[in-house]
Amino acid sequence: MEVINVNGDVEDEKKFRDKLLQAEQELAAAKGREQALQNQLAKEVNDNQERFKKQLESQSKLEVSSPLLFFFLCIRDFV
């Protein structure tokens, strides 16, 4: 005759469900942290692209104005 331990099966099932719930919660938390890091990275990339664009525009303006400035500095001695 076989003895069935119903209480043991219920306990094992409860432990399994608790572990599964904990694993699901940890996974959800990890996904939330990952999303926050991805958002932060995207913002940093965007900010750096804007800074780089402004630096290029500034350098371009300097390159255009430098020859003119040189020209005016040179001709002022002749005027």
List, as one string, the DSSP characters of 13-74. Answer: HHHHHHHHHHHHHHHHHHHHHHHHHHHHHHHHHHHHHHHHHHHHHHHHHHHHHHHHHHHHHH
pLDDT-based confidence at 58, cuts 50/70/90? Answer: confident
In this prediction the pTM is 0.58
On the question of pLDDT at 73 being above 90, the answer is no
Provide the token pair at 12: 């094992």
Amino acid symbol at 79:
V
Q: Which residue range forms the structural domain that includes residue 32?
A: 9-79
Is residue 4 included in any domain, yes or no?
A: no
Number of folded domains that form the chain: 1
What are the phi and psi torsion angles at 43 (to 5°)?
A: -65, -45
What percentage of the chain has pLDDT greater than the value 90?
56
Is residue 3 included in any domain, yes or no?
A: no
pLDDT-based confidence at 32, cuts 50/70/90? Answer: very high
